[in-house]
C-alpha cells in the first residue's frame, strides 16, 4: 500500500475530483480527512469509506476554519502526513466582464486558501515526530496553455504553480515535499455544467473529445492515482514538479483538424 497509516487531508472532497482522490488515498491505506464546505457531503463520503475516514465541514476562505481543520485532524489521528489542496471554484467570463468580486472569490479560494492551509500544515509537519510530509496542489492543464474567458481561474492556478515551486525548494531540506498535479478535462459535475451551457451539448462533447488524444475525459480516480503516488515515499525525488495528467491535451499543438492530411514526405 502506498500510504500505509499516513494521515491525509483532502479539501473539496465532498464530491467530484476531491472525492475520487480521497477514495484512492483511502484504498492505499491512508487515514483520510474529507474536508468540504458542504459538511453533510463530507460526512457522507467519510461514512461511505468506513474506517480510517473523518468528514469535516470547512470553509477554506476562513483562516480560523483552516486552523481548526488541521487541529481536528491531529486530535483524531495523532499527526498529519499529507495535504491535497483540491478545493476550488471556476469562473468563465470574458476578461472585460470579470468583476473585482469575481476575481476576489476565485483567488481567495483557489490560491490564498491553499497557501494559508499549506502554511498551517507545514508547521504541524515540522512540529511532530518524525517530522516531514507531502503536499499536492491541484492545478490545471491551463498552466500549460490558457483558454479565453478564464482570466481569474488561470491567474489563480498559475499562481499556485509559483507557490508550489517556491515553497517546495524552501521546505525540501526540512523533509516536506510539495508538488502539483495539473488535470485536463475531468468527468465531474463541472464538465456536465459546461455541456449544459453549450448551444448543442453533443457538439460540445464531440469538440472536446476530438481534442483530447485519449478521446475521453479523465476519471477522478485516475487523478487520485497520481496524487497518491506524489504523497507517497515512492516519489521522494520529486520536488516542485507540475505533473500533467491530461490525456495528452498539453502535448497537442493545435486543435485536431476535422480532415485528414495526405501523406507528405517519406519514402
3-state SS, residue 267: coil
* 86 neighbors 13 (Cβ within 8 angstroms): yes
207 is catalytic: no
Distance CA(73)–CA(158), nearest Å, equals 29
CB neighbourhood size of 167 (10 A): 19
Q: Exactly one of 77, 153, 229, 244 is catalytic; name it.
A: 153
Grid coordinates of 193:
455544467
Find, among 258, 224, 220, 267, the residue nearest to 82 by Cα: 224
Distance CA(187)–CA(38), nearest Å, equals 20
SS3 content of the chain, % helix, strand, coil (to 5): 50, 15, 35
Catalytic residues: 153
Amino acid at each position: 500500500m502506498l500510504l500505509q497509516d499516513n494521515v491525509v487531508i483532502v479539501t473539496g472532497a465532498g464530491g467530484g475530483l476531491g472525492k475520487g482522490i480521497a477514495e484512492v488515498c483511502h484504498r492505499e491505506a491512508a487515514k483520510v480527512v474529507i474536508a468540504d464546505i458542504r459538511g453533510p457531503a463530507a460526512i457522507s463520503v467519510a461514512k461511505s469509506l468506513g474506517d480510517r475516514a473523518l468528514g469535516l465541514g470547512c470553509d477554506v476562505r476562513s483562516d480560523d476554519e483552516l486552523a481548526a481543520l488541521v487541529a481536528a485532524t491531529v486530535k483524531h489521528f495523532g499527526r498529519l502526513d499529507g495535504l491535497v489542496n483540491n478545493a476550488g471554484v471556476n469562473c468563465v467570463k470574458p476578461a472585460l466582464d470579470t468583476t473585482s468580486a469575481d476575481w476576489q472569490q476565485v483567488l481567495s479560494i483557489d490560491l490564498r486558501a491553499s497557501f494559508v492551509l499549506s502554511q498551517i500544515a507545514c508547521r504541524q509537519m515540522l512540529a511532530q515526530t518524525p517530522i516531514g510530509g507531502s503536499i499536492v496542489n491541484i492545478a490545471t492543464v491551463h498552466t500549460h496553455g490558457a483558454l479565453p474567458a478564464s482570466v481569474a481561474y488561470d491567474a489563480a492556478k498559475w499562481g499556485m504553480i509559483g507557490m508550489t515551486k517556491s515553497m517546495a525548494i524552501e521546505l525540501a531540506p526540512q523533509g516536506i515535499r510539495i508538488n502539483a498535479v495539473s488535470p485536463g478535462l475531468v468527468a465531474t459535475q463541472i464538465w456536465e455544467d459546461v455541456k449544459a451551457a453549450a448551444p448543442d451539448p453533443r457538439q460540445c462533447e464531440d469538440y472536446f473529445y476530438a481534442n483530447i488524444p485519449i478521446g475521453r475525459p479523465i476519471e477522478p480516480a485516475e487523478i487520485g492515482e497520481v496524487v497518491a503516488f506524489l504523497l507517497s515515499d515512492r516519489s521522494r525525488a520529486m520536488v516542485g514538479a507540475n505533473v500533467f495528467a491530461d490525456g495528452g491535451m498539453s502535448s497537442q499543438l493545435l486543435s485536431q483538424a476535422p480532415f485528414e492530411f495526405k501523406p507528405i514526405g517519406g519514402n
